[in-house]
Amino acid sequence: MKEILKFGGASIKDAKSITAVSKIIKDYPNHNIVIVFSAIATVTNLLEGLVEAYHRKDDDVVIKFNEIKSLHISISKNLFEQEHFIFDIINNLFVEIEWALEEEPNQMYSYDYDQIVSVGELLSSHIMSEYLKIDGFKNELIDIRDVFKSDNNYQNANIDWDLTKEICKQKIKNIPVVTQGFLACSSENFTTTLGREGSDYSAAILGNVLNAERVVIWKDVNGVLNSDPRHFSDSKLLDELSFSEAIELAYYGAKVIHPKTIQPLQVKNIPLQVRSFINLENPGTIINDCQITYDMPSYIVKEKQILVSISDKKLSFIVEEHLSYIFSLLDKYNLSVNLMQNSAVSFSLCIDNSKNSVKFLNELRNKFDVLYNSNLVLYTIRHYNNQSLSSFIKNKKIILEQKSRNTVQLITE
């Protein structure tokens, strides 16, 4: 029974956490496994900050670089003897970043992002593979960039499925295997990434191409909850979900599942289990081809939203030509629409607030009159009822509401 296990950054945030993950893997009843690791907790954010500073040519680039390097060395000193060759591996990976920082920033920010931020997963997987070995768990470390082939759409690369399947059968034979999430490689042999939080998607790709019996994603929560416990005090575990419901929740922004994760598994009817690395007694949530009725509402929160209202400068109708241009800009700046609504003379859409959203708004103004509100919150309620909706909107200032049979979305201040 071949299984794919994926561990996120929170599960390997320090030496104590790494030893706990090692115990989970060693005690796993089935060693016919492929293990996918994200970067160590906070490291992706720190590397993103490094890329930003590098592109701005800030004075603190070296400080940020040294902070990230010191973090990995500090954790490793608590896991390995001083003479272990893991320290040479860590130093060599940071030399790769140093080489990149010595060059002038590329005009394509996304390219530099992928070359630098990707090192986080390479570091964590090397550390985990070597620690598992000294803890008695033999494994083969594979660079997933030798397996996952993609286009060069940096920061959101698309997998070449046929080529990836062919290579995967050749490369992944002797398991257990340790590898990286989030990463791929273009035909030009440049590192690409699969989108923020893309390690779940990596595990799903491996599950699909290796015909795994199951994919297990280990999180710091008990499974898929009906609401984010950071925003709701009465969050409840969803024991079982259908593939289609999980896709809907991920699409609307449920953070426990990456939006692309489900479909590669659904195609081959491979169950996905979401479990807690903290509460090992809890079986978590199973996502499969079940047919169940959902009586309990699920609440999804997306903060830092921008509601944009677009109208023609000549006050003419918003027609297909206008919409085509707007969506071409969204594609250009790699922005996803979280909600949209149109009338005869205006078109409104809700997007995440980001560096690219500012560029998008600036370019829109060349052709349209543009108004927007920022720092908004988008709430999505799946399987709402009148009681849950009325109690939820109480004392909230609703700017826009959109309702369908199973889902209501509310934008609030």
Rounded Cα distance between 149 and 83, Å, is 36
Rounded Cα distance between 254 and 257, Å, is 6
For residue 145, give the 3-state DSSP assignment: helix
What ranges make up the beta strands (E) of 233-367?
240-242, 272-276, 285-288, 298-312, 339-342, 347-352
Burial of 124 (0-12, 13-18, 19+ CB in 10 A): buried
Q: What is the pLDDT of residue 130?
A: 98
**298-412: CATH topology:** VC0802-like (3.30.2130)
Task: Over range 60-85, report the average pLDDT.
Answer: 96
Q: Quick one: which of 37, 33, 49 has its CA closest to 10?
A: 37
Q: What is the pLDDT of residue 195?
A: 87
Q: What is the pLDDT of residue 136?
A: 94
Confidence of residue 293 (pLDDT cuts 50, 70, 90): confident
Is 80 exceeded by the pLDDT of residue 1? no
Q: Looking up tokens 């109480």, which residue turns up?
A: 394
Q: What is the pLDDT of residue 163?
A: 96
Task: Over range 121-141, report the average pLDDT.
Answer: 97
Q: In CATH, what number does 3-219 get? A: 3.40.1160.10
Q: What is the pLDDT of residue 354?
A: 87
Q: What is the bridge-based pairing of β-strands 183-186 and 149-150? A: parallel
Task: Over range 53-58, report the average pLDDT.
Answer: 92
384-408 confidence digits (pLDDT tens): 888 778 878 887 888 888 998 889 9
Q: What is the pLDDT of residue 315?
A: 67
Rounded Cα distance between 286 and 277, Å, is 15
Rounded Cα distance between 413 and 411, Å, is 7
Is 90 exceeded by the pLDDT of residue 98? yes
Q: What is the Cα Rg of the chain in Å?
A: 23
Residue 299 tokens read as 């609440």
Least confident among 55-69, 309-323, 358-372: 309-323
Q: What is the pLDDT of residue 144?
A: 97
What is the per-residue DSSP string for 9-34? GGGGSSHHHHHHHHHHHHT-S---EE
3-state helix/strand/coil string of 221-253 = CCCCECCCCCCCCCCCECCEEEHHHHHHHHHCC
Least confident among 37-51, 132-146, 314-328: 314-328
Q: What is the pLDDT of residue 71?
A: 97
Is 90 exceeded by the pLDDT of residue 197? no
Residue ranges of the domains in the chain?
Answer: 3-219, 298-412
The alpha carbon of 292 is separated from its chain's Cα centroid by a whole number of angstroms, namely 27
Q: Which amino acid is residue 308, in one-letter code?
A: V
Task: Over range 72-100, report the average pLDDT.
Answer: 96
Residue 304 near residue 353 (C-beta atoms within 8 A): yes
Residue 128 or 319, more confident: 128
Confidence of residue 228 (pLDDT cuts 50, 70, 90): confident
Backbone phi, psi, residue 210, to 5°: -95, 0
Q: Which amino acid is residue 41, in one-letter code?
A: A
**pTM to 2 decimals?**
0.89
Residue 3 near residue 33 (C-beta atoms within 8 A): yes
Is 70 exceeded by the pLDDT of residue 145? yes
Residue 273 near residue 216 (C-beta atoms within 8 A): yes
